[in-house]
Structure 1
Amino acid sequence: MTPGPKVPSPKVPGPKILGLTGSIGMGKSTVAGMLRDLGVPVFDADAAVHELQGPDGGLVPAIEAAFPGTTGPHGVDRPKLGNAVFGDTERLARLEAIVHPAVAAMRKGFMAANAGAPLIVFDIPLLYEKVGDKGLDAVAVVSAPADVQRARVLARPGMTEAKFAAILALQVPDAEKRARADFVIDTGVSLDATRDQVVGIVRTLAGGK
């Protein structure tokens, strides 16, 4: 069932918050870049995780304690950590319990730093899978035809059909995401056409700014 238009709940005056999401290979990073080019502050959840797990990252000691041997001089060894939690729901939950509160704290700081902006964006790859849309004024889903998505993903170094299928199995289907979204951004068209869609959304949510 497709939800109707969101009715903003009473909250402290501040920026409107747009959640940006999309399945692998749909062009979400490109759209996030377009939003930044328009002057919209974007909080990148993946970038926050990389910072927290990188050299001298704040989560490196906790992750090493929970998963010995998965970190080194350059921070978290992501392949080793991935192997340590892959297919083990208990271990994955333990990792998420370390990571999610730290990312939430960074997001809170981002919101405080951009309290005067008319619109801010939370770039969250697994918004529907892990986070949900609570606290958001709207959600934009980045989408493209399945054949375009497949070609983009399989062109990535080290990607295989099996890996692609495994990733898709963990993600909410694109059709469902589009049905639940307030805005759908089509990246199966030219960059200019995609940019026009992004500009329209910003104008709608930010009052023409």
Structure 2
Amino acid sequence: MTFKLGLTGSIGMGKSTTAKIFAELGCTVWDADAAVHRLYMPGGAAVAPMQAQFPEAIVDGAVDRAALKDIIARDPSALPRIEKIVHPLVGEDRAEFRRTAESDILVFDIPLLFETGGEAAMDAVACVTVDAETQKQRVLDRGTMTVEQFEQILQTQMPIEEKRARADYVIETDTLEHARAQVEQILAEIRGKMADA
């Protein structure tokens, strides 16, 4: 029996770091963002359909994320058209992972898990969380976006309070040690339930 655990949270809450902890503790992790990167690379499954719809988004045989951002900024109706191409391909990538992964607990690192209804395919969901000030500081410390861009992304994501309320497990990522202790506890609980099943 394999247990499917969804891992979600808002930007800057420590999801990627928490996913690494799950991997270190013997879980196999599927990363939605990494899947999109694979699809956008030269030869990736998204390149040809994107080229047909948005030729200006293709640079050196790959889908250019910056170009996509510009397209969406100019024409908000482009986003659902992009999603219509990318979401089914991401779904195929995830299905392939499920077929081939071999650990007892599979972790699905999906930022917009609740927003896309993805929790329905999971056995449980863990949500990472941290206070708003720490979240903002982490994002701005990356040096990849402005305060305005950060605020815009927050607007597209479900409020963290709602994600926490809907999750089966909540992981506070205030420190690495605290996050690891909580992940260990969650895995012990899941593995205990699996042994009893």
Which category of TM-score, normalised to the shorter sequence, fits these structures? over 0.9
CA contact (8 A) 1:16 1:120 kept: yes
CA contact (8 A) 2:41 2:62 kept: yes
Q: Does 1:33 align with 2:23?
A: no
Pairing 1:127-206 to 2, within 5 Å after superposition: 127-188=113-174, 190-206=175-191
State the secondary structure of the residue aligned to 2:126. strand
Shift of the 84–198 alpha-carbon distance from structure 1 to 2, 3 Å rule, reads same
TM-score (norm 1): 0.87
CA contact (8 A) 2:47 2:61 kept: no
Given the alignment, which residue of 74, 82, 101 partners 1:95? 82
Given the alignment, which residue of 60, 80, 91 partners 1:73? 60
Which structure 2 segments of 5+ residues have no match? none
TM-score (norm 2): 0.92
| CA distance in structure 2 between the partners assigned to 1:90 and 1:158 by the alignment | 25
**Larger deviation, residues 68-77 vs 194-203:** 68-77
User: What displacement does 1:88 show?
Assistant: 4.1
> Amino acid of the residue matched to residue 125 of structure 1?
P
Where is the helix percentage greater, Structure 1 or Structure 2?
2
| 1:30-54 CA-partner distances (Å, limit 9, x unpaired) | 0000011111011101100000101
| 1:71-112 CA-partner distances (Å, limit 9, x unpaired) | 122511111012112374532111111111111111111111
| CA distance in structure 2 between the partners assigned to 1:179 and 1:165 by the alignment | 22
**Larger deviation, residues 168-177 vs 158-167:** 158-167
Number of residues of Structure 1 aligned to a counterpart in Structure 2: 194
> Amino acid of the residue matched to residue 110 of structure 2?
I
CA contact (8 A) 2:32 2:108 kept: yes
| CA distance in structure 2 between the partners assigned to 1:130 and 1:82 by the alignment | 20
Deviation beyond 2 Å, 4+ runs, structure 1: 85-90, 206-209
What is the percentage of aligned positions where both structures have the same residue? 46
RMSD: 1.6
Aligned to 2:107: 121
